[in-house]
């Protein structure tokens, strides 16, 4: 008897996302899940906390240690597992950096987390404290990214920096660097830069959204950091623009929008997430 | 000075969904969130539990939320003045104090928005080989009858749940209509009996879904729209289909508030697409002649996004 012709199961790409959950709004897993799911990923969600809405940051080293232990076990089961890590520790305000997680997380990130990561998305402050050096010019930024590569990850994206932009003061600069092996066994580093119009508001959750979409687009374009970043940044810019526009309409003329009004319009931006219109281009540096 | 022309904020429809969360798979909030979000709803999610996976697997582990913890989350929302909801959605609950707390919250939310619509899947039990059995503690039944169903606008019981809520059996379509009328009298204007073993003209391998919606039409006339659908059975045990059904029914009755026929056709058709895709994939994963496991039978929700957004009607309802 001939074997029955066996249909193939659908291919699938499964993400384990370990982040905060908020009842209302878009940070952490709430920010990551929807974009990844609309882009076709199976997403398993471990909610590290459940809060009513976003607040300040709470993270502890024992939880982070446990996550690293789990990642190492998962990697034994699938050596090709890709760990995308947003090393959230702090930010700059008016030029001064400050940590908004306990300081004892920094050695854990430097010693355990970043070495395990394949892709990291620090902001300038986080990149500087991880690498142990400042970046005031593009050349110094490249040096910082190279230090970070040496710690582990082949892909480093500095999501925002206050490097001077040729387009003016109201632009922030995003930088990316990806080490890869190309045809013939040659090791190269692709480096890109993007100038992004600043928006006059404080958004929460944009970093989480960025990391999730970067995961999706680097999966789609594993050897083209330029395209992956253009799609990620453009999608985020669409969402942010839509959000601020709606927030201002909610707040009314001349009034500053509240945190509730500034919640990212993620669901409404589904089509931009699925197929981002490139509105910001990257230059290769 | 003329006032600046003020752009309007985008209209929005916000759902508060209080259900289980599983890390892996599609039940409870995991089942409800994605469809509602792809259909454009803002979805606020209170995860009543966080488990590794649903309890149909051999193992499950996780944490459960208490009524006190629910109150804390709710207080957080209240303090920020963000408790204006258009819909509330609830499903599987095992704890009467938690259920009581949810009802308390719904009543408060309704004081804030009297037009709030409460969609309730009164999950209590099911039938297997003709016999009904409860899979929640029995003391939940009086809470559902006395508090929950009276507050609900839309309920989605299966046949067993409809019978124990109404206190009468339904062996014929006529009796089913009587049961649905008893349920209407308890509160909800929309009742959908998601599955029943009423005899189908199409044969034994069809289950029957029934729906009933009371409404007031032009001229103030009160009418009841009743529909029936024959659905091909699928030879597998799925978990989460009820949660998916309730979420999509919320979306389609919102879109078609006075047309239960279309709302049910879209909901049932989308679900049928998902189930068919799931069993097909599960069989491919399990291999020839092998029974798919719980893990392999997880609903292919993400993969069915387009069917969720715009369901191709493959099962039609008849008006009865």
Residue A133 φ/ψ, nearest 5 degrees: -150, 150
State which residue of chain B sits closest to A264, comparing Cα positions.
B42
State which residue of chain A sits closest to B286, comparing Cα positions.
A9
CB contact under 8 A, B303 and A40: yes
Alpha-carbon span B229 to B50, nearest angstrom: 35
Q: Kindly list the catalytic residues of B.
A: 243
The vertex-B102 CA angle with B98 and B104, nearest 5°, equals 115
Residue A156 φ/ψ, nearest 5 degrees: -130, 125
Contacts of B263 (CB under 8 A, 6+ apart): B249, B252, B253, B255, B256
pLDDT digits (tens, 9 = 90+) for B230-268: 999 998 889 999 999 999 999 999 999 999 999 999 999
Q: What's the gap in Å between the CA of A254 and the closest CA on chain B?
A: 10
Report, as an integer, the average pLDDT of A170-188.
Answer: 94
Q: What percent of chain B has pLDDT over 90?
A: 92
pLDDT of A57 over the 80 cut: no
Residue tagged active-site, from A146, A169, A200, A208 = A208
Report, as an integer, the average pLDDT of B186-201.
Answer: 96
Report, as an integer, the average pLDDT of A252-273.
Answer: 94
Q: State the pLDDT at residue A24.
A: 95
Closest partner residue to B10 (CB to CB) among A23, A53, A246 is: A246
Closest partner residue to A23 (CB to CB) among B9, B37, B77 is: B77
Per the CB < 8 A criterion, the answer to whether B314 and B307 are in contact is no
Interface of A to B at Cβ within 8 Å reads 3-4, 6-10, 16, 21, 23-24, 30, 33-34, 37-38, 40-47, 50-53, 245-246, 248-250, 252-253, 259-260, 265, 267-268, 270
Q: State the pLDDT at residue B2.
A: 52
CB contact under 8 A, B45 and A23: yes
Most confident of A8-17, A108-117, B216-225: A108-117
Report, as an integer, the average pLDDT of B17-31.
Answer: 97
Written as six digits, the tokens of B152 are 């609900």
CB contact under 8 A, B281 and A10: yes
pLDDT of B183 over the 70 cut: yes
State the pairing for strand pair B42-51/B117-120. unpaired
Per the CB < 8 A criterion, the answer to whether B211 and B195 are in contact is no
Please give the full DSSP string across B251-263, using - where no structure is assigned. Answer: HHHHHSTT-HHHH
CB contact under 8 A, A267 and B74: no
Alpha-carbon span B248 to B36, nearest angstrom: 7
CB contact under 8 A, A23 and B6: no
State which residue of chain B sits closest to A260, comparing Cα positions.
B82
Q: What is the pTM of this model?
A: 0.93
Q: State the pLDDT at residue A233.
A: 98
Q: What's the gap in Å between the CA of A107 and the closest CA on chain B?
A: 29
Q: State the pLDDT at residue B4.
A: 55
CB contact under 8 A, A10 and B43: no
Q: Which residues of chain B are within 8 Å of residue A54 when distances are taken between CB atoms?
A: none
Per the CB < 8 A criterion, the answer to whether B310 and B35 are in contact is no
Number of residues that make up chain A: 285
The mean of the pLDDT values for chain A is 93
Please give the full DSSP string across chain A, using - where no structure is assigned. Answer: -PPPPPPPPPP--EEEEEEEEESSSSSHHHHHHHHHHHTT-EEEEEEEEEESS--S----HHHHHHHHHHHHHHHHH-TT---EE----EEEETTEEEESS-TTHHHHIIIIIHHH-SEE---HHHHHHHHTS---SHHHHHHHHHHHHHHS-SEEEEEEE----TT-TTEEEEEEEEEEEETTTEEEEEEEEEEEE--SS--SSHHHHHHHHHHHHHHHSTT-HHHHHHHHHHHHHHHHHHHHHHHHHHH-TTPPPPTTTTS--TGGGHHHHHS----S--EE-
Residue B206 φ/ψ, nearest 5 degrees: -125, 140
Per the CB < 8 A criterion, the answer to whether B103 and B53 are in contact is no
Q: State the pLDDT at residue A4.
A: 54
State the pairing for strand pair A171-182/A186-197. antiparallel
For helices B241-255 and B28-38, the axis angle rounded to 10 degrees is: 30
pLDDT digits (tens, 9 = 90+) for B280-298: 999 999 999 999 999 999 9
Alpha-carbon span A263 to B76, nearest angstrom: 16
Q: What percent of chain A has pLDDT over 90?
A: 84
pLDDT of B197 over the 80 cut: yes
pLDDT digits (tens, 9 = 90+) for B87-100: 999 999 999 999 99
Q: Which of A247, A244, A236 is nearest to A269 (CA)?
A: A236
Alpha-carbon span A67 to A63, nearest angstrom: 6
pLDDT digits (tens, 9 = 90+) for A9-48: 888 899 999 999 999 999 999 999 999 999 999 999 999 9
Q: What's the gap in Å between the CA of B69 and the closest CA on chain A?
A: 10
Number of residues that make up chain B: 320
Q: What's the gap in Å between the CA of A19 and the closest CA on chain B?
A: 12
Q: How far is CA B63 from CA A24, A44, A62, A71, B108, in A?
A: 21, 16, 18, 21, 27
Mutation for B interface: A24, A250, A251, most B CBs within 10 A: A24
The mean of the pLDDT values for chain B is 95
Q: Which residues of chain B are within 8 Å of residue A8 when distances are taken between CB atoms?
A: 284
Element (H, E) at A21: strand A14-22
Q: Which residues of chain A are within 8 Å of residue B50 when distances are taken between CB atoms?
A: 46-47, 50
pLDDT digits (tens, 9 = 90+) for A122-159: 999 999 999 999 999 999 999 999 999 999 999 999 99
Please give the full DSSP string across B3-25, using - where no structure is assigned. Answer: PPPPPPPPP--EEEEEEEEESSS
State which residue of chain B sits closest to A39, comparing Cα positions.
B302
Alpha-carbon span A101 to A97, nearest angstrom: 12
Q: State the pLDDT at residue A58.
A: 46
Beta strands in B160-236 (DSSP E): 190-196, 206-217, 221-232
């Amino acid at each position: 008897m001939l074997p029955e012709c066996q249909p193939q199961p659908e291919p699938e790409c499964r993400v384990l996302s370990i982040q905060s959950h908020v009842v209302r709004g878009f940070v952490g897993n709430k920010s990551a899940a929807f974009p990844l799911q609309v882009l076709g990923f199976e997403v398993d969600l471990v909610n590290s906390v459940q809060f009513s809405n976003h607040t300040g940051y709470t993270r502890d080293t024992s939880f982070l240690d446990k996550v690293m232990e789990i990642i190492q076990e998962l990697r034994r089961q699938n050596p090709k597992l890709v760990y995308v890590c947003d090393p959230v520790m702090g930010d700059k305000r008016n030029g001064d950096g400050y940590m908004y997680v306990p300081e004892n997380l920094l050695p854990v990130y430097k010693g355990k987390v970043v070495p395990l990561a394949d892709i990291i998305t620090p902001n300038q402050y986080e990149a500087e404290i991880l690498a142990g050096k400042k970046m005031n010019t593009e050349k110094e930024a490249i040096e910082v990214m190279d230090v970070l590569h040496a710690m582990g990850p082949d892909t480093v994206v500095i999501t925002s920096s206050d490097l001077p932009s040729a387009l003016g003061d109201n632009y922030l600069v995003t930088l990316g660097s990806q080490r890869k092996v190309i045809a013939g066994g040659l090791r190269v580093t692709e480096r890109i830069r993007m100038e992004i119009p600043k928006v006059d508001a404080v958004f929460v959750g944009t970093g989480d959204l960025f990391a999730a979409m970067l995961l999706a687009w680097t999966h789609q374009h594993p050897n083209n950091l330029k395209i992956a970043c253009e799609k990620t940044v453009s999608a985020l810019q669409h969402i942010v623009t839509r959000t601020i526009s709606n927030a201002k309409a909610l707040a009314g003329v001349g009034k500053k929008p509240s945190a509730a009004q500034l919640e990212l319009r993620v669901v409404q931006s589904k089509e931009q997430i699925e197929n981002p219109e490139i509105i910001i281009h990257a230059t290769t540096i």
